């Protein structure tokens, strides 16, 4: 059981596969492996031959990370884990076999096991969208690659942030968690695809805890980037504000529970987009569920004409960006909602074939211990023309909710929790409130968005959890939005 | 392992090698039928050293690169935290039953049969239900070796049955589900099927509730979804040492209702988180957290215990893999209650039964707060459950709510790592659309 559950969006559905995975979580490894992978290419191609399966794929992965974690002034963890492993997936008559391993010897034996498993499962016809094979070598280059920096330099920055927190009076303690991961993945399939991708992801969470007797308040700041260390630099001012807010919360009142007109900042509106609509757009929930297919029929109206929602790994330089997904399908940019109407959804090759819709390149795996499943990448609401002042100007009593603790969805109903909230009174921001949990219903809440701002911002902190695969790097974003009749938990 | 240890001892004063290997086989059903069969095999090795008084740590997923493991541990030890503990000598460990050879031999075909019978049993009740299920078995081996002669290890089997059903009527979606786990094979799916069918029965009708304050019966699932995250944080020795636990300075004080008792116990036979020793080789024990409402002990690993000047409670946990140890719960066991669920509900004039509170832990859990959407829950009127409520939030603070207990139920059960009774609490804040 995790100690503090925050900073993660989780999906409440799919209980059957939500169980915490028990295997090591360490990811990462040495660059010299590059050459070793080349040698594997012949073995991979050889291992595909002579099996009675419709489709086979292999992923081999090598990764190295840096983890630095402070609890208060105590450096709790500083380490550079490495990890190497792989997996094989095979398809026979609609059934899947999947084998994962750390021991990279005897690939052929592992392919045989996966095929044998698939044969045990498969009884119907397979649906698997066809796709041209790709051969490619992708190495992402960033402005400031964390793997080129000395451990001391990373630690120094975190020391500075920690000092900033401790410099704020009445702070009880701090929690700082930094992680970067350089990952190299080789993908090959029995159709002739061979793709090597090298990229990195980094994430930082800084939290401050303030205390007054038994009353404890925590405020966090989560940031991240697609392998660019500058994404976590120069946050001193924000860290200071975060710590100050933790102290201020001790004197803040609770919101009164009930329905409010709420305005969300771009960060929380991004989490809202992810929970309220993103997960429901993932076709693996829909493709074998006839009732849900009727509800999620393309052309159905979910919001006003001002509402446009996009997801796409092809949107560059964000934490959910990539060239190919974990089935070797090229990344795209997909409109989910255009002018308020459902126009698209996110697919793997299997769900695309079953629903007769185009592949979108959204099949993603957390690591080699997991098969790819349909996931979001970078999900956002497109900006319109309203300013923040216009948005709050005519609100007699409402709540301005910012920042996030997390979010969860069960498809129809969802929650998203704000790390920071203020009352809005007579068109102006008023007193600070304690953190609030907001809840919505897919069939009403999107319709209740009555204003979309002009200030798109992307949230790069946190990660997404689904089917036991967590945290997967994603980003989400939005301009400021206003929602009428939003249910808020409070006192 | 021995070679890693001897190599590490050349570079450091003390060293510890932790090796975990696992194999698990989940059988996965989707949309009412068998869909996937997985085999996950893996291992992780972790080296912890104490060099010039500082801790160094490294991990890898193979054993062949010993030099890199030692080098990386030495490299980070220059920044490492001051070690405040001694690695354990050779110890005597309690006998804890967590291995069943029958499970290792349990056939995949039998697991498939179990899943199919579970789905067909539930669909006999509700043919429209779209079902997902997972039957899984696994085995994990842990071995620990250290430079002070300490040596420990165990082999543990595990078996899990989980089920989720989805029913859609117009735009109304209902999710029902339950799961069960053990270190022995579970060959009777009746309990999971029965619990799901009961949820389907209770959710047949809809009811509404208005915003205000009401008593709430938390079922065992409800207890876990609302209370466990804040309690697990508050009793974590590291959070206590950091000054971030509201209970840190309240040992020996009565904070909770007198009828409430809670212990952490890693020695219960055949529970998936039980073990003879923790991930640092410290013998497992039962630790009383709450005794009749009074705050008892907190959970410690070696380093945190050293910092706090207490003994480790054998709660050092590496998160299932080879991470750095930290204090964590094993199995939480609530003391027995004295009234039946039926009487509990029967005693309420108006209230809610909460089975699943979604997103409850995504708020200020350190402060004891919870607030979530009632994903599955029912309205009680004049002592009877009258139907399912939706679009409703329930909020509270665990320190107030568990000190305002109306009753603790007899019908305790395992929900994951927690053995929980139903608990009826007065005066929760309800927010609703109705």
Contact B393 A488 (CB under 8 A): yes
* Chosen from A8, A15, A247 to mutate, greatest number of chain B CBs within 10 A: A15
Nearest to A26 among B61, B242, B431 (CB): B61
Supply the pLDDT for residue B397. Answer: 96
Quote the ipTM score: 0.95
Give one word for A317, left, alpha or beta, with left for phi > 0 and alpha for psi -120 to 50: left
pLDDT of residue B433: 82
Out of B59, B80, B130, whose CB is closest to A26?
B59
The edge-to-edge listing of strands for the beta sheet with B294-295 is B294-295, B286-291, B262-265, B332-334, B418-420, B413-415
CATH number for the domain that contains residue A64:
3.30.2290.10
Q: What is the H or E stretch that residue A383 is in?
A: none
Q: Residue B82: what pLDDT?
A: 95
The domain boundary residue, chosen from A222, A249, A276: A249
Which pLDDT score is estimated for A38? 63
The total domain count for chain A is 2
Q: Determine, for residues A83 and B60 on separate chains, whether the beta-carbon distance falls below 8 Å.
A: yes
Q: With respect to residue A169, please indicate whether it lies within any of the assigned structural domains.
A: yes
With CA atoms as reference, report the closest residue to B229 among B428, B418, B425.
B418
Q: Within this chain, do residues A344 and A284 fall inside the same structural domain, yes or no?
A: yes
Q: Encode B24-45: b = buried (16+ Cβ within 10 Å), e = exposed.
A: bbbbbbbebbbbbbbbbbbbbb
Token pair 């054993």: residue? B63
Are B36 and A95 in contact (CB < 8 Å)? Answer: yes
pLDDT on residue A405: 83
| Residues B371, A99: C-beta atoms closer than 8 Å | no
What are residue A155's phi and psi, to 5 degrees? -60, -40
Look at the block and give the residue holding tokens 């569920």: A289
Instruction: State the DSSP code for A257.
Output: S
Chain B: give the shortest CA distance to residue A9, in Å. Answer: 9
φ/ψ region of B339 (left if φ > 0, alpha if ψ in -120 to 50, else beta) reads: beta
Per-residue model confidence as pLDDT tens digits over B406-434: 999 999 999 999 999 999 999 999 999 86
β-bridge mates for residue A92, sequence order: A95
B417/B196 Cα distance (integer angstroms): 20
Structure tokens at B414: 């395992």
Res A39: pLDDT: 64
Of B81, B136, B171, the CB nearest to A75: B81
Measure the CA–CA gap between B297 and B283, rounded to whole angstroms: 17
Is A1 inside a domain boundary? no
Claim to verify: residue A188 and residue A287 sit in the same structural domain: no
Exposed e or buried b per residue across A15-48, where buried means at least 16 C-beta atoms within 10 angstroms of its C-beta: bbbbbebbbbbbbbbbeebeeebeebeeebeebb
3-state SS of B8-48?
Answer: HHHHCCEEEEEEEEEEEEEEEEECCEEEEEEEEEEEEEEEE
Residues of B with Cβ-Cβ distance to A365 under 8 angstroms: none
Pair of tokens at residue A422: 């203020």
pLDDT by position in tens, chain A (length 491): 222 222 344 444 333 233 222 333 323 333 344 455 566 788 999 999 999 999 999 999 999 999 999 999 999 999 999 999 999 999 999 999 999 999 988 999 999 999 999 999 999 999 999 999 999 999 998 999 999 999 999 999 999 999 999 999 999 999 999 999 999 999 999 999 999 999 999 999 999 999 998 899 999 999 999 999 999 999 999 999 999 999 999 999 999 999 999 999 999 999 999 988 999 999 999 999 999 999 999 999 999 999 999 999 999 999 999 999 999 999 999 999 999 999 999 999 999 999 999 999 999 999 999 999 999 999 999 999 999 999 999 999 999 999 988 889 888 899 999 989 999 999 999 999 999 999 999 889 999 999 999 999 999 998 899 989 999 999 999 999 999 999 999 88
Q: Cβ A217–B211 below 8 Å, yes or no?
A: no
The CA distance from B48 to B50, in Å, is 7
Please tell me the predicted confidence (pLDDT) of residue A306: 98
B369 contacts on A by Cβ (under 8 Å):
434-435
| H/E stretch holding A268 | helix A266-273
Q: Is A299 exposed, middle or buried (0-12, 13-18, 19+ CB in 10 A)?
A: exposed
Give Cα separations from A178 to A8, A24, A207, A472, B59 (angstroms): 15, 19, 12, 15, 17
Residue ranges in chain B modelled with pLDDT below 70? 434
Phi and psi at A125, nearest 5°, equal -95, 145
From the list B43, B80, B329, the residue facing A1 with the nearest CB is B329
Question: CB of B16 within 8 A of CB of B48?
Answer: yes
A351 & A317 share domain:
yes
Inter-chain touch A6–B362, beta carbons under 8 Å: yes
Q: CA of B363 to nearest chain A CA: how many angstroms apart? A: 6
In a domain, A321, yes or no: yes
Same-domain pairing of A301 and A168 = no
Domain for residue A2, yes or no? no
Determine the 3-state secondary structure of B134 from DSSP: strand
Name the domain boundary from A185, A214, A249: A249
Residue that is written with structure tokens 């002018």 in the block? A339
Tokens of A142: 């960033």
**Residues A118 and A245 reside in one and the same domain:** yes
Total CB pairs under 8 A between chain A and B: 335
3-state secondary structure of B110: helix
Same domain, A286 and A227: no
- Residue pair B29/B115 in contact (Cβ under 8 Å)? The answer is yes
CA distance to partner chain B, nearest, from residue A4 (Å):
7
Q: Would you call B36 and A371 a contact, using CB atoms and an 8 Å cutoff? A: yes
Q: Which residue has the tokens 């942030």?
A: A161
Min distance B322 CA to chain A CA atoms (Å): 6
Per DSSP, the residues of B205-253 read SB----SEEEEEEEPHHHHHHHHHHHHHHHTBHHHHHHT--TTTT-TTS
Question: Is the bond preceding residue B67 a cis peptide, omega within 30 degrees?
Answer: no
Amino acid B277: pLDDT: 98
Cβ <8 Å between A79 and B58: yes
Chain A residues with CB under 8 Å of B365 CB are 4-6
Contact A26 B323 (CB under 8 A): yes
Sign of CA dihedral B383, B385, B389, B392: positive
Where in chain B are the domains? Answer: 2-200, 205-434
Reference A355, options A370, A369, A344; nearest CA is: A344
Question: Which chain A positions have a beta carbon within 8 Å of B31's beta carbon?
Answer: 288-289
Yes or no, beta carbons of B171 and A410 under 8 Å apart:
no
A385 CA: distance to closest CA in chain B (Å): 30
Kindly state whether residues A296 and A217 are assigned to the same domain.
no
Contact between A119 and A51 under an 8 Å Cβ cutoff? The reply is no
Which string of DSSP letters, residue by residue, matches A296-315?
Answer: T-TT-B-S-TT--EEE-TTS
Distance of CA A31 to the CA centre of its chain: 26
Alpha-carbon distance of A432 to A246, in angstroms, equals: 11
Residue B206 CB coordination number (10 Å): 14
Sign for the CA dihedral angle at A360, A362, A363, A368 comes to positive
Chain B residue with Cα closest to A18: B162
Question: Would you tell me how many other CB atoms lie within 10 Å of the CB of residue A289?
Answer: 17
Comparing CB atoms, the residue among B43, B108, B243 nearest residue A102 is: B43
User: CA dihedral in degrees (B51, B56, B62, B63; nearest 10)?
Assistant: 10
Task: Give me the torsion for CA of B337, B401, B358, A256, rounded to 10°.
Answer: 160
Give the one of B58, B211, B328 whose C-beta lies nearest to A1's C-beta: B328
**Helix ranges, B325-396 (H):** 341-346
Q: Is residue A3 part of a domain?
A: no
The pTM of the full predicted model, rounded to 2 decimals, is 0.93
Residues of chain A found within 8 Å of residue B75, distances taken between Cβ atoms: 80, 151
Q: What angle do CA B242, A26, A378 make, to 5 degrees?
A: 90
Q: Would you say B364 and A216 are in contact if contact means Cβ atoms under 8 Å apart?
A: yes
Q: Which domain holds residue A231?
A: 8-14+21-249
Q: Is residue A324 domain-shared with residue A382, that is, in the same domain? A: yes
Query: What residues have CB less than 8 Å from A415, skipping those under 6 apart?
Result: A275, A407, A408, A409, A437, A438, A439, A440, B358, B359, B362, B372, B373, B393
State which residue of chain B sits closest to A21, comparing Cα positions: B320
Closest partner residue to A408 (CB to CB) among B168, B173, B359 is B359
- B41, B61, B393 ranked by CB distance to A489: nearest: B393
Least CA distance to B33: which residue of chain A? A121
Q: How many other C-beta atoms are found inside a 10 Å radius of the C-beta of residue B120?
A: 12
**Number of CB atoms found within 10 A of residue A250's CB:** 16
CB contact under 8 A, B179 and A218: no
Q: CB of B245 within 8 A of CB of B239?
A: yes
Do residue A238 and residue A300 come from a single domain?
Answer: no
Instruction: Please report the sign of the dihedral spanned by the C-alpha atoms of residue A126, residue A130, residue A131, residue A135.
Output: positive
Same domain, A135 and A278: no
* Per-residue confidence (pLDDT) for residue B63, from 0 to 100: 87
Residues of B in contact with A1 (CB under 8 A): 228-229, 232, 328-329, 417
- For A415, the closest of B68, B358, B369 (CB atoms) is B358
Neighbour count for residue B89 (Cβ, 10 Å): 11
A297 and A319 share one domain:
yes
**Could you tell me the CATH superfamily of domain B2-200?**
PmbA/TldD superfamily (3.30.2290.10)
The verdict on A106 and A159 lying in the same domain is: yes
The C-alpha of B407 sits at a distance from chain A's nearest C-alpha, in angstroms, of: 23
Q: A216, A232, A249: which is the final residue of a domain?
A: A249
Diameter of chain B by CA atoms? 73
CB contact under 8 A, A5 and B361: yes
Q: Nearest chain B Cα to A220, which residue?
A: B364
Residues of A in contact with B129 (CB under 8 A): none
A contact test, residue of B72, B228, B371, B389 with most A CBs within 10 A:
B371
Structure confidence at residue A6 (pLDDT) = 29
Cβ contact (<8 Å) for B62 and A407?
no
Q: Can you give the C-alpha Rg of chain B in angstroms?
A: 24
């Amino acid at each position: 059981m995790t100690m503090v559950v925050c900073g993660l969006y989780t999906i409440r559905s799919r209980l059957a596969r939500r169980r915490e995975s028990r295997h090591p979580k360490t990811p990462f490894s040495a660059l010299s492996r590059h050459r070793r992978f080349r040698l594997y290419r012949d073995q991979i191609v050889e291992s595909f031959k002579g099996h009675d399966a419709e489709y086979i794929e292999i992923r081999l992965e090598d990764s190295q990370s840096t983890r630095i974690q402070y609890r208060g002034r105590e450096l709790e963890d500083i380490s550079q884990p490495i990890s190497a492993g792989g997996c094989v997936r095979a398809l026979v008559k609609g059934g899947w076999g999947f084998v994962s391993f750390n021991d990279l010897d005897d690939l052929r034996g592992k392919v045989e096991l996966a095929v044998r498993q698939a044969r045990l499962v498969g009884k119907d016809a397979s649906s698997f969208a066809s796709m041209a094979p790709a051969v490619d070598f992708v190495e992402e280059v960033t402005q400031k690659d964390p793997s080129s920096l000395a451990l001391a330099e990373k630690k120094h920055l975190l020391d500075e942030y920690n000092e900033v927190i401790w410099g704020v009076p009445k702070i009880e303690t701090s929690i700082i968690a930094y992680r970067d991961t350089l990952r190299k993945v080789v993908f090959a399939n029995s159709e002739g695809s061979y793709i090597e991708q090298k990229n990195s992801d980094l994430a930082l969470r800084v939290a401050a805890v303030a205390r007054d007797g038994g009353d404890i308040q925590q405020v966090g700041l989560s940031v991240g980037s697609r392998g660019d260390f500058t994404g976590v630099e120069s946050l001193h001012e924000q860290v200071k504000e975060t710590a100050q807010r933790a102290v201020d919360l001790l004197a803040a009142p609770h919101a009164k529970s009930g329905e409010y007109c709420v305005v969300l900042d771009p960060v929380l509106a991004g989490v809202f987009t992810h929970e309220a609509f993103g997960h429901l757009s993932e076709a693996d929930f829909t493709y074998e569920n006839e009732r849900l297919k009727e509800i999620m029929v393309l052309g159905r109206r979910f919001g006003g004409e001002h509402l446009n929602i996009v997801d796409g790994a092809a949107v560059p330089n964000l934490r959910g960006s990539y060239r190919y997904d974990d089935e070797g399908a090229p990344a795209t940019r997909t409109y989910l909602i255009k002018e308020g109407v459902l126009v698209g959804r996110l697919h793997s090759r299997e769900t695309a074939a079953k629903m007769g819709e185009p592949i979108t390149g959204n099949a993603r795996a957390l690591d080699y211990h997991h098969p790819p499943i349909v996931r979001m990448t970078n999900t956002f609401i497109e900006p319109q023309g309203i300013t923040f002042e216009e948005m709050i100007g005519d609100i007699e009593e409402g709540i301005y909710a910012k920042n996030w603790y997390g979010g969860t969805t069960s498809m129809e109903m969802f929650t998203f929790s704000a790390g920071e909230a203020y009352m809005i009174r007579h068109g102006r921001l008023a007193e600070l409130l304690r953190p609030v949990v907001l809840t919505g219903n897919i069939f009403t809440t999107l319709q209740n968005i009555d204003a979309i701002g002009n200030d798109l911002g992307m949230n790069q902190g946190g990660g997404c959890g689904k089917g036991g695969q967590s945290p997967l790097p994603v980003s989400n974003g939005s301009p400021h939005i206003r929602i009428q009749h939003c249910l808020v938990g409070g006192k | 392992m021995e070679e890693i240890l001897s190599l590490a001892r050349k570079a450091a004063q003390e060293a510890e090698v932790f090796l975990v290997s696992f194999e698990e086989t989940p059988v996965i059903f989707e949309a009412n039928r068998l869909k996937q069969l997985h085999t996950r095999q893996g291992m992780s090795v972790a080296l912890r050293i104490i060099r010039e008084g500082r801790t160094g740590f490294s991990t890898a997923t193979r054993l062949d690169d010993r030099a890199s493991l030692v080098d990386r541990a030495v490299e980070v030890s220059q920044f490492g935290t001051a070690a405040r503990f001694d690695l354990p000598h050779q110890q005597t460990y309690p006998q804890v039953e967590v291995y069943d050879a029958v499970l290792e031999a349990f056939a995949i075909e039998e697991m498939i049969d179990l899943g199919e019978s579970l789905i067909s049993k539930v669909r006999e009740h509700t043919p429209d239900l779209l079902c997902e299920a997972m039957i899984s078995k696994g085995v994990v081996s842990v071995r620990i070796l250290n430079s002070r002669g300490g040596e420990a290890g165990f082999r543990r089997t595990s078996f899990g049955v989980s089920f989720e059903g989805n029913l859609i009527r117009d735009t109304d979606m209902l999710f029902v589900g339950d799961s069960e786990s053990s270190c022995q094979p579970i060959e009777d799916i009746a309990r999971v099927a029965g619990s799901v069918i009961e949820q389907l029965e209770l959710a047949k009708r809809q009811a509404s509730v208005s915003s205000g304050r009401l008593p709430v019966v938390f079922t065992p699932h409800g207890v876990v979804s609302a209370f466990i995250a804040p309690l697990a944080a508050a009793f974590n020795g590291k959070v206590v040492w950091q000054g971030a636990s509201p209970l840190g300075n309240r040992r020996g004080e009565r904070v909770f209702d007198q009828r409430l008792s809670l212990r952490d116990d890693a020695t219960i036979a055949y529970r998936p988180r039980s073990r003879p020793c923790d991930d640092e080789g410290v013998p497992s024990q039962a630790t009383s957290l709450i005794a009749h409402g009074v705050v008892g002990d907190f959970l410690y690993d070696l380093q945190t215990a050293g910092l706090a000047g207490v003994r480790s409670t054998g709660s050092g946990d590496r998160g299932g893999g080879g991470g750095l140890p930290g204090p964590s719960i094993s199995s939480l066991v609530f003391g027995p209650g004295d009234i039946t669920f039926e009487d509990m509900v029967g005693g309420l004039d108006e209230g809610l039964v909460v089975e699943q509170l979604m997103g409850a832990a995504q708020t200020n859990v350190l402060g004891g707060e919870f607030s979530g959407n009632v994903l599955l829950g029912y309205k009680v009127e004049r002592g009877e459950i009258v139907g399912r409520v939706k679009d409703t939030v329930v909020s509270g603070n665990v320190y107030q709510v568990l000190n305002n207990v109306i009753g603790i139920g007899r019908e305790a059960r395992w929900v994951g790592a927690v053995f929980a009774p139903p608990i009826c609490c007065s005066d929760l804040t309800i927010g609703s659309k109705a």
